[in-house]
Amino acid sequence: MSKWILWLFLTLLTGSPLLSLGLILVIIFVADRFTWQVLPSPVRLLKRFQRAGQLAGTILTNPHERRARHELADIRVEQRRYAEAVDILKPNLEAGDEDVDTLYLLGVAYLGAGDSQRGELLLDEAAKLDADHKLGAIDLERGRFRLKRGDVAGAVEALERYCQVRHGTVEGRYLLAKALSRAGRGDDAKRMRDLAWGEYVVAPRFQRRRERKWAWRARPSRPLMYAAAVALVLGGLASVLPRFGMTPERGYGGRYDAGAHGEPPSASGMEEYLGE
């Protein structure tokens, strides 16, 4: 709603809906960079894209370069291109790479690609090598994809283990609250959402920046309050600016030039003009 009011306000000032839309996108991005930093960094996205191109070229030249395959598969998983990640990393496993990093990454790729049986099996093998790999990331991914495919009981089990290992996690508590809600445990889900928000409030600044989107999902009233405040400010500006004459003028092609008294040309005046 606030973006709609902002668009109307900028259209009033510029007279161009498309220009107003572009300005809104710029304003949102700049505001996010200096405040919440929820949107992904375009610089980081560009660097990852360039790095992926370099790694793909390396693999094309030397298909047996395992390190390049692992790094490129990691980028593809981050981009949620899971099937590509499987095709890229699978040769490493076939060549004998059975370390915890390879098993974990390939397991997540299989889960994302829809092959839950192979994905769970690979995560089991990774957990045998290091159950606390990346501070419980194995259980986090188990819970995430189990919840996605409707295995609510399995998701609750995995996410509860993850929250026990990662005490300050906002994402884990939000996902656990979601799983508990689907399991019909509404009171427990509410308590977990409150805990997620409480962890976010006391977290260090760098962690709050990383976990902000999960905190807002746990308590969506917060971003709605910010949006309502912005809408009120913009609505007040839109009502005040016309008093200062900041309204678009119209002429013959959708605009008119006001006369001395602010009135459009009369019909008689037009006839005199045409008769000259």
Whole-number mean pLDDT of the chain?
80
Q: Mean pLDDT: which of 94-98, 209-213, 222-226, 257-261 is highest? A: 94-98
- pLDDT band per the 50, 70, 90 thresholds, residue 35: low
Model confidence pLDDT, tens digit, residues 58-81: 999 999 999 999 999 999 999 999
Q: What's the mean pLDDT in 163-188?
A: 95
pTM as predicted: 0.70
Query: How many CA within 13 A on the CB side of residue 75?
Result: 19
* Cα four-point dihedral sign 177, 180, 182, 186: negative
Residue with tokens 């894209």: 49
Mean pLDDT of 31-35: 58
Q: What is the dihedral angle through the alpha carbons of 1, 234, 19, 26, rounded to the nearest 10 degrees?
A: -80
Where does the pLDDT of residue 38 fall: very low under 50, low under 70, confident under 90, or very high at 90 and above? Answer: low
Q: Is the pLDDT of residue 46 over 80?
A: yes
Long-range interactions of 219-223: CB distance < 8 A, separation 24+: 219/193
Yes or no: say if 216 and 223 are a contact pair by the CB < 8 Å rule.
Answer: yes
Burial of 99 (C-beta count, 10 Å sphere; 0-12/13-18/19+): middle
**Other CB atoms within 10 Å distance of the CB of residue 177:** 24
Query: What pLDDT was estimated at residue 31?
Result: 63
The residue that leads in pLDDT, 26 or 3, is 26
